[in-house]
Structure 1
Amino acid sequence: MPTTAELLEIATTVAREAGELALRRRGEGVRIAATKSSLVDVVTETDREVEEFIRARLAELAPGDGFFGEEGAPDESTTGRTWVVDPIDGTVNFVYGIPAWAVSVAVVDGGADPLIWRALAACVVNPSSGEVFTASLGGGAYLDGERLAVSRPDSLAETLVGTGFSYDAERRVAQAAAVQGIIGEVRDIRRIGAAALDLCSVAAGRLDAYVERGLKPWDHAAGVLIAEEAGARARGEGGRRPSASLTVVSAPAIADELDALLDRAAV
């Protein structure tokens, strides 16, 4: 049975290597392979190549573990552990050359359902900046080896909130309406376009909170663990764990106020 430190070493090795591959491919030019849920929900050839690279490397380094990625079919686990992977989080940013996209790799036990899994180790790499965010269960969160801690805003009015929007146009309109109920109560809102990086930004104190509905398991598996190990409070619908229904991650200092605001705004 590998330790969480050993699992973290695997996650970091694979995420770094995958990030280097994705960055090389970005320099060679981007080709759209397909659209998924809508015309703006794109997948590139690099998404697919990087995911297959990660799958193959994990088969070497963690044989028997399951695999659950964005682009391909899942592999069943014989060990109880599953690797939850987003080969390129922020694909639209990647396509447009916006340097806010990431490779996200996490390992969990208890299956592939975020409502019941337990995240063990995680790594999020931003290849454009070279930043590497890591965390292991009970071991803290780090950015390039430096320990991370969440911010301590004094009030909701001093809270910088990150969010994201759905690929579905109708749902985006509803999300924009919900933002109207929030923006006047907080310092400001940021929409960066890569959930894994947003969650790491909460860990690093660059954001005080992050709120989004509709995140897939691979969008938040690594980032939530990194944020929690930096001291953030993470929750979902009805106080359950973060999931597609709702993901809220914030500094504890304003968590209760933020939850009340989200209820009033019908987020």
Structure 2
Amino acid sequence: MSVSDDERRELRALAERLAREAGAIALDGRRAAGSSFGGDTKSTSTDLVTEFDRAAEAHIVGELRRIRPDDAIVGEEGTDDTGTSGFAWHVDPIDGTTNYVYDHQAWSCSVAVAHGDEMIAGAVAVPPVDELFSAHLGGGATRNGVAIEASDRSDVALALVGTGFAYAADVRRVQAGIVAELIGDVRDIRRLGSAAYDLCMVACGRLDVYYERHLNSWDAAAGELIAREAGAITSDSVGGRARPDDTVAAAPQVHAAFLAVLQRAIDASPGTS
């Protein structure tokens, strides 16, 4: 069963609303907490989760169960509901929890929906700076309702590149080795700490490229669609389809060149052979 453009628009509007509402819950909680704020840990001692991650996800899940009870839901904080409709929601209530705990602005709330294996609508709210990015398949991408597009950068040596690092220390060391090899071939590297926001940065031209491995579906689902609908080319690191565990989003004129320099960096980096 195909999904009509009208339904994709409706799902986009729902994703926008849920991302904004959950983002507001998280922002209010962070402001109320002040400087005495912390969280629990998950996969490693540096992988943080807070009560507001859980509260924001609970709000999204509650609304989806009420409005679309037959849809599947996959959330970072443990929600794993199977569905029968063919639609699946991917929810990251606070993408960039470390930034959130430290009161840095680069954290976001990401909500996306897929039909089958195709992402069809998504939104990323960035509450500290009052930005809302969204897209639906075939409908373009916006920031606060205004159309956005990826940069027209054509020289990879002048490309500003974003990336991120995993929580496991041994994986981060390998990733840092790739950055060390790559940094001489591009303008510079940025590491903001929220994959969803990074992908939206590519969508609006604030980054020319973003790449990362070891993400989860909820990290990249909305942002990858938003970047693609803004005209960026998305792929894995060898030019295949983008996947959460291997995602590249780049301005169209530097995508191929960036894949080439990235592969050289991977090949030259210790621990990646």
- Normalised TM-score (structure 1): 0.94
Q: How does 1:199-218 map to 2 (within 5 A)?
A: 199-218=199-218
Q: How does 1:108-127 map to 2 (within 5 A)?
A: 108-110=114-116, 117-127=117-127
Give the CA deviation at 1:244.
Answer: 3.6
Q: Which deviates further from its counterpart, 225-234 or 14-23?
A: 14-23
User: Secondary structure at the residue paired with 2:152?
Assistant: coil
Structure 2 residue runs of 5 or longer lacking an equivalent are: 268-273
- Give the distance between the partners of 2:38 and 2:204, measured in 1 at CA: 32
Q: How does 1:47-66 map to 2 (within 5 A)?
A: 47-66=53-72
User: Secondary structure at the residue paired with 1:167?
Assistant: coil
Tell me what 2:265 maps to.
265
Give the CA deviation at 1:58.
Answer: 1.1
Tell me what 1:81 maps to.
87
Q: How does 1:5-154 map to 2 (within 5 A)?
A: 5-29=9-33, 31-110=37-116, 117-154=117-154
Amino acid at match of 1:27: R
Tell me what 2:162 maps to.
162
State how many pairs are aligned. Answer: 261
Amino acid at match of 2:24: E
Amino acid at match of 2:193: G
Q: Is the 8 A contact 1:66 1:77 kept in 2?
A: yes
Q: Is the 8 A contact 2:39 2:101 kept in 1?
A: no
- Give the distance between the partners of 1:132 and 1:148, measured in 2 at CA: 12
- Give the distance between the partners of 1:173 and 1:78, measured in 2 at CA: 42
CA distances 1:108-150 after superposition (whole Å, capped 9, x unpaired): 011xxxxxx2111100000101100010000000001110110
Tell me what 1:194 maps to.
194
Aligned-pair identity in percent equals 47
Q: Is the 8 A contact 2:202 2:249 kept in 1?
A: yes
Tell me what 2:270 maps to.
none
CA distances 1:196-232 after superposition (whole Å, capped 9, x unpaired): 0000000000000001110111000000000000001
Amino acid at match of 2:53: D
Q: Is the 8 A contact 2:114 2:120 kept in 1?
A: yes
Structure 1 residue runs of 5 or longer lacking an equivalent are: 111-116
Tell me what 1:184 maps to.
184
CA distances 1:59-92 after superposition (whole Å, capped 9, x unpaired): 1222211100001131111110011000000000
Q: Is the 8 A contact 1:31 1:44 kept in 2?
A: no
CA RMSD across the alignment: 1.4
User: Secondary structure at the residue paired with 1:58?
Assistant: helix
- Give the distance between the partners of 1:242 and 1:70, measured in 2 at CA: 20
- Normalised TM-score (structure 2): 0.92
Amino acid at match of 1:38: T
